[in-house]
Structure 1
Amino acid sequence: MRHPERRLLICVDMERYSRRSNVQQYEAQRDFHQLLEEAASDVGLDRVGWTTQQAGDGELAILPRDLPEARIIGRFVPELNRRLRRYNASRLPVARIRLRVAVHQGMVHLDGAKGFPGQAVVLVSRLCDAAVVRRALAAFPDGGIALVVSSDIYRDVVTEYPEEIRPERFRRIDVVHADKGFQEQAWLCVVDEDITSWVDDGSLVPTLPPGDPTPEPTRSTDPERGGSVRAGSEPGGAPPVSGGIRTGDITVEGQNAIGPGAMAIGSVGRDAILRPGTDR
């Protein structure tokens, strides 16, 4: 067994590949690899040196150790996105190629018998397959790439060496695969789309102004959706009310929401009132 090497990893997966006919899958595979080659060549990258593990609808790539990471995030991904948009503009939705792309770095064995052993490979694959990343790409039908990067890549590359993809275009997410016991934070963007106004089901962490502390809300896992939701925002539940008291269906707000012997009377919801000085 050779010693593992620290490398940059890219996992790419094609949207809705299995829904295509045989001929459409054949054409999608061919055009997918051609688009990758052309985008890499245009930004000065030689894919001959990439160690890849192929799948019908994507690939896992282990990049050469001397390849600049900022060129992958800041130039290769945007160029691939531009080519995908041009490619898709003249095609029916069923024939379009749209990608989920995940980027991470870590230790990996390059001499595995059936692939590339290493937790870094597991993590980048989980990021690429995350439900929240799938939903983000589906929410922007004109987009070509939903890009998700690990926290290390966001901190060390995106924020330090921004080129065409800038840090403010990313949203922090929780990636959860409950059936696999996996949970990690990552950063997501849909290239050339504004996802700051996109409302997901709670897997997106709220964006705060610079300098504000990051909130740490209580979270509960939702294994059916592959993401996590904040307490009080579970599907079918009532939203939390700020600054008041809620008991069952009765919500009380304002100064009278506290104090001994207070009792809610009248209507329920936001119009409930209190009668002070009475027993509960």
Structure 2
Amino acid sequence: MNRQEAVHRLVVNVDIKGSGRLGHQAKIRSRTGMYDILESAFRAVGIQGGDQLHLEDRGDGVLAAPAPDVPPSALVGLWLEEVHQGLREHNAGLAEPLRLRIAMHGGPVSDDGKGLVGRAVDLTCRLCDSEPAKGILAADDGIDLVFVVSDVLYHSVVAEGGRFVEPEHYRPHPVRAKETDEVAWFHVPRRTEPPLPAPGPVPAARPTGVDTPEGPDRAQASADANGGTGAEPGGPWPTKYWINVNGSNQIVDGAEVHGDIVGVRVTPDDDSAEGAGRGGC
């Protein structure tokens, strides 16, 4: 196979919290501990290295991609459990415990001979380095591991459940950085939910070809149409796009529509409308 050919693979990014503040010997201990924990976890799911695992050193972390035939359910299940238990054992009695952020996403990637390339790699790294992931570790010193997956990986793999998989303990949160504007799912093993920061306001996006207010009143008009909050009607879903069509508001996340259509009013010359329209996919 041409090694620059794009192949769909699961991408894993691991980062050590606060490594920039560590002294030289502390950095070595942290890296040694991280590699020992990760390699043991990969062996537990039958990944021995070589052709089964692409591994890139990132200084204070690693970028990994198992072979395409490795089921993602093994990574979000047993592999994550092994990392969690290995981290607990490693940190027992340490004054400065090793704390990790781990992100996963799947998609087409290529190997250009120097490393993996592709949007799947970019997004995985963005999720791992995201403010919500960092915020979880900052919120609670008792948390040594935060795990984040992309929206598509959550719905296609995590939500299906399985051994050591806890979909009910994941929580969605928007991730916005550079060119990234995504919904990701965050998890802390053995916690019912992660201590996520409150999501920021969602900006209104003006659709093409639809009359909307101009200037600084645009954001206020979007908020007014949704009860003054700018948030999705009837639910906690983070939003990516707002569509305002003649007073009807829908919230679109990727290719899905969540929530009701609201704001449709009966006009004197409209014999067919009856109150607020409701809809969804």
User: Which residue of structure 2 lines up, in the alignment, with residue 183 of structure 1?
Assistant: 181
Question: Are 1:57 and 2:55 counterparts?
Answer: no
User: Matched residues in 2 for 1:108 and 1:199: separation?
Assistant: 30
Q: Tell me if the contact between 2:105 and 2:120 (Cα under 8 Å) persists in the aligned partners.
A: yes
The question of whether the paired residues in 2 share the 8 Å contact of 1:85 and 1:142 is answered with no
Instruction: Write the mapping of 1:190-209 to structure 2, written as runs, cut at 5 A.
Output: 190-195=188-193, 198=195, 200-202=197-199
Distance 2:143 2:124 in 1: 21
Root-mean-square deviation (Å): 2.5
Determine the C-alpha separation between the residues in 2 that align with 1:135 and 1:84.
20
Q: 2:139 is aligned with what amino acid?
A: A
**SS of corresponding position for 2:160:** coil
- % identical aligned pairs: 30
CA distance in 1, matches of 2:238, 2:103: 26
Partner Cα separation in structure 2 for residue 168 and residue 77 of structure 1: 16
What is the TM-score normalised by the length of structure 1? Answer: 0.68
Larger radius of gyration: 1
Name the count of aligned residue pairs: 208
Task: Indicate the SS of the match to 2:75.
Answer: helix
Q: Which runs of 5+ in 2 are unaligned?
A: 203-232, 242-281
Residue 69 of structure 2 aligns to a residue in which SS?
A: coil
Preserved CA contact (<8 Å) 1:165 1:191: no
1:31 Cα deviation from its structure 2 partner: 1.7
| Cα pair 2:172 2:238 within 8 Å, conserved | no
Q: Secondary structure at the match of 2:133?
A: helix
| Equivalent AA in structure 2 for residue 171 of structure 1 | R
Work out the CA distance in 2 between the residues paired with 1:16 and 1:37: 22
2:86 to 68, 83, 102: 83
Counterparts of 2:167 and 2:239 in 1: how far apart (Å)? 26
1:109 is paired with a residue whose SS is strand
Question: What CA deviation, in whole Å up to 9, does each residue of 1:227-274 have, x standing for no partner?
Answer: xxxxxxxxxxxxxxxxxxxxxxxxxxxxxxxxxxxxxxxxxxxxxxxx
The aligned residue for residue 262 of structure 1 is: none
The DSSP-based 3-state class of the residue aligned with 2:161 is: coil
Corresponding residue of 1:26: 28
Question: Is residue 2:153 matched to residue 1:153?
Answer: yes
Corresponding residue for residue 10 of structure 1: 12
Matches within 5 A, 1:31-180: 31-48=33-50, 49-93=52-96, 96-110=97-111, 112-177=112-177, 180=178
Distance of aligned partners of 1:92 and 1:184 in 2 relative to their CA distance in 1, 3 Å threshold: same
Contact kept, 8 Å, 1:171 with 1:204, in 2: the verdict is no
Letter of the 1:194 partner, please give it.
T
